[in-house]
Amino acid sequence: MSEFPTKVVRGVTLRADPPRESAFQVVQLDAEMHEYPGMTPPAQRERLHRHMGNELGSLDIAAQCLADFPDAPWELRLELARQAWDESRHVLALYRRLRDLGGRKGEFPIGNFEWSVTCSLDSLAGRLAVQNRTFEAGQMDLLGSLPRHWREIGDEDTAAMLEAILNDEVQHVRFANRWLKEFVRQDPKTLLEVVNALQFLSAANEAVSAKEGEINAVGTPLGAPRHQTIEVNVECRREAEFSEEEIRAALRKAGLGSILASAALQERA
């Protein structure tokens, strides 16, 4: 890997933001974003706009992995290329739906946190552990519940689009799980790369996380308590080949927000 430009966010050195069109305002913190409560028309457009920005970042990360690790196994490079293609389709689908709802690109600020953390790492195993196995697994959890909220307001088109995106995300997490196991089988020291990568992610998260009492740029309260729960997508995590113990750990971390999923897990066990 060659040297890359960096930025410092609340004391943590991260990879500098990727290029974006001039229409976009790129920010670094949740407090600078325009998240709205509920499902009002501005909230709907901001959700789609933010998701579009995140998918664009995922495309950049997969493509950057191809550029930075040309000696990776060919089969893994094919998976990363497929992921880049999938993410490009997601961006276009979200952009079309955003426009259908009267929105436009650049209507709201975007961030590049996932890119800046993941592409700071100098090992492919570390990047797969952080981006695919952590960020995208979290996206699977989110997409497990989001379609329901869109259907509650009568928007079947957006709900169906998000379910299609979820199907691709499962594969992105699954191939990372498989390749990480293979890397560790070939060289157990790979585990140290994964641990170091996750520790770096934890430090970055701690630095940039909103503090209690903070509000964002449109007055929405940030930090704890935010009255939000995490619903672990148990079935998709199984499909993505997380172990049962890993799923239980995710449920414990999520707390009461996943009590129904936890009950379902117990019934199946």
* Residue 155, CA distances (Å) to 78, 97, 162, 231 in order: 35, 11, 11, 21
Provide the pLDDT for residue 262: 45
159-179 confidence digits (pLDDT tens): 999 999 999 999 999 999 999
Let me know: does 136 contact 70? Beta carbons within 8 Å. no
* End-to-end CA, the chain: 44
109-124 confidence digits (pLDDT tens): 999 999 999 999 999 9
Place of tokens 């389709």: 89
Provide the pLDDT for residue 213: 81
| 98-123 burial code (b ≥16 CB/10 A, e <16) | beeeebebebbbbbbbbbbbbbbbeb
Q: Copy the structure tokens of residue 152.
A: 């509650």
Provide the pLDDT for residue 165: 98
CA 127 to chain centre: 13
Let me know: does 80 contact 37? Beta carbons within 8 Å. no
Residue stretches of the chain with pLDDT short of 50 = 225-227, 256-269
Output the pTM of the full model. 0.91
Provide the pLDDT for residue 59: 98
12: which strand partners? Answer: 9
- d(Cα 80, Cα 72) in Å, to the nearest integer? 10
Provide the pLDDT for residue 64: 97
Provide the pLDDT for residue 229: 61
Place of tokens 């999923």: 261
